[in-house]
Amino acid sequence: MSGATILEKAAATPRALTRGELAALIAWPDLDALFKAAYAVKLREIGPRVSLRGLIEFGNVCEKDCF
């Protein structure tokens, strides 16, 4: 499968990629095209917003003794 075809398949059906195709995307030489395709998938799947979540612990005792 050619490079452009793998990127097109990844943008159209990201959950249908083979292990080899995923490996090819990890080593993708054209980062601009890869980021544009990833952003298009993000817009299609969850829209333009980003939600961040995190856990904040309050206290002065470290239970894990992680100095």
Q: What is the pLDDT of residues 16-37, one digit of tens each?
A: 899 999 999 999 999 999 999 9
The CA-atom distances, in angstroms, between 13 and each of 16, 31, 65 are 6, 19, 46
What is the structure's pLDDT at 15? 85
| Domain ranges, residue 30 | 3-46
Specify if 20 maps to a domain.
yes
Domain tally, the chain: 1
What is the structure's pLDDT at 14? 78
pTM: 0.65
Q: What pLDDT digit, counting tens, does each position of 53-63 carry?
A: 887 777 777 77
Specify if 42 maps to a domain.
yes
CB 41 within 8 A of CB 11: yes
